[in-house]
Amino acid sequence: MKINKWILSILTILFSANVFAYKIIVPDIHESMTRSSKACFDKAMTTKTEPKDCLVDLNIDNIEVWWMEDSSLAFYDVLGWIKRGLNYTADLPDLEDAVRWPDDPTKEISAGILKIGSKLLTDTCESYRDAATGIIDLNAGLICVSHYGELQFLHAQASSVGEPASDTHNKIISWASFLYLVASRKLSNEDLNEDYCTYFSEDSLFNRAMLPSNLSTPCTSNKGKWKVSSLFNITCSSPKPSAWGCNEWVGDASYDKARIMATGALLHLVQDSFSQSHAERGACEIEDNKVVAKVECKPVSRFTTYKGQENHADADFMPQFKSSCAESEMIDDPILAGAKILWYIENAESLDDFKTNVIYKVFGTPEYVVTHGEPAGLGQCFVNKL
């Protein structure tokens, strides 16, 4: 596939036993699930009926994963092949790139192993935790805030132990809704050009998490002030917080890039929520001194938080799909949910329908979570080292 994958594979081997072994431990899991969802979506498009059942096959590799024209080369994209022959490379990412955006939102992995290694391995992110509030906010940069701070909901996780399930759920649904508005073009180029801090200025739990607490970069800095689309278009060349020393990709294509990345971020959110170390669904299982990586199509009973977890990566390996996925009416499996995400975006269905028919069938309704959700914790299998 991409150079990224090679770097990820090398990183996995190098760092699989330490703190770095966070969400990117399994180089291929998100890509495999995405290919399977895309295959199901492609089939649905040929019959023009909404996906209802998808084959859970994580070994599909012979499908095109481009999402918008020019996002990679489809076999029949003759003009694309001519451009490739002339050394032209596509401007826009494909779905396999996009689904990894939440793991590497500022493209620090592809820029070099040393950079990300020095950053995560020396606990740089923790050093940006505010002593007074105990939080890591956007000023620590996107990669830190999404893995260790207030934006852990990008990975279907809570931001701290004890966070009420309804709060985590609220932020996840708000994030999914925002991504859907971007991905399905309900936000125009002009909307995406709006000031980022103005867009998220109305007071809400979700908006507070999206903004830096003292409204510095990216709200006020002369150089680094963000637009809505900036979130998806920034690359950083420095091991310092992503908000510093970064470059933004601008121009007309940046809006479509934001839409593709938002599509990938939606797939990622749903896929992560089926990892037991991110969100507990049913009881966790241990086999041969390892947490079993499995997908249960049951409602989330507890969101977890990453800081302090042991064995986190065990659950991020290629999962077994349990029988609940064949039986559940209430919760879709992640492959079907992914295919439906693509279907709803492609057909620009209403946000309300998207929430009701897709997102609530992954995360449950707010009413359900208020009644049944436990406050966030480390997770049954992740409190002590096995």
Contact between 259 and Zn ion per CB under 5 A: no
For residue 192 the two structure tokens come to 């995406």
Binding mask 111-150 for Zn ion (x = CB under 5 A): ----------------------------------------
Which residues, 6 or more positions from 119, have their beta carbon under 8 angstroms from its beta carbon? 108, 125, 143, 239
In the complex with Zn ion, the residue whose CB is nearer, 229 or 277, is: 277
Contact between 227 and Zn ion per CB under 5 A: no
- Do the Cβ atoms of 294 and 319 come closer than 8 Å? yes
First to last CA, the chain: 34
Minimal distance, residue 356 CB to Zn ion, in Å: 25
Q: Is 366 helix (H, G, I), strand (E, B) or coil?
A: helix
Binding mask 4-43 for Zn ion (x = CB under 5 A): -------------------x--------------------
In the complex with Zn ion, the residue whose CB is nearer, 73 or 142, is: 142
Contact between 94 and Zn ion per CB under 5 A: no
In the complex with Zn ion, the residue whose CB is nearer, 70 or 97, is: 97
Contact segment (CB under 5 A) with Zn ion among 90-98, 111-119, 272-280, 328-336 equals: 272-280
Minimal distance, residue 219 CB to Zn ion, in Å: 26
Binder of Zn ion out of 70, 272, 296, 316 (CB under 5 A): 272
For 135, phi then psi, to 5°, come to: -115, 160
In the complex with Zn ion, the residue whose CB is nearer, 58 or 68, is: 58
Minimal distance, residue 316 CB to Zn ion, in Å: 8
**Contacts of Zn ion in 147-176 (CB under 5 A):** 155
- Secondary structure (H, E, C), 143-206: HHHHHHCCCHHHHCCCCCCCCCHHHHHHHHHHHHHHHHHHHCCCCCHHHHCCEHHHHCCCCCHH
Minimal distance, residue 152 CB to Zn ion, in Å: 9
Q: What does the radius of gyration of the chain's CA atoms come to, in whole angstroms?
A: 20
In the complex with Zn ion, the residue whose CB is nearer, 23 or 35, is: 23
Contact between 322 and Zn ion per CB under 5 A: no
Residue nearest to Zn ion according to CB distances in the complex:
155
CA separation for the pair 323, 381 (Å, rounded): 21
Q: Give the helix/strand (H/E) hosting 116.
A: helix 113-121
CA separation for the pair 7, 16 (Å, rounded): 13
- Do the Cβ atoms of 63 and 52 come closer than 8 Å? no
- Do the Cβ atoms of 21 and 306 come closer than 8 Å? no
Minimal distance, residue 97 CB to Zn ion, in Å: 15
CA separation for the pair 155, 352 (Å, rounded): 22
72-80: Cβ within 8 A, 24+ apart: none
Minimal distance, residue 31 CB to Zn ion, in Å: 13
Minimal distance, residue 268 CB to Zn ion, in Å: 6
Contact segment (CB under 5 A) with Zn ion among 37-45, 61-69, 203-211, 270-278 equals: 270-278
Minimal distance, residue 313 CB to Zn ion, in Å: 12
Contact between 312 and Zn ion per CB under 5 A: no
Size of the site for Zn ion (CB under 5 A): 3
Residues in contact with Zn ion by the rule CB under 5 A: 23, 155, 272
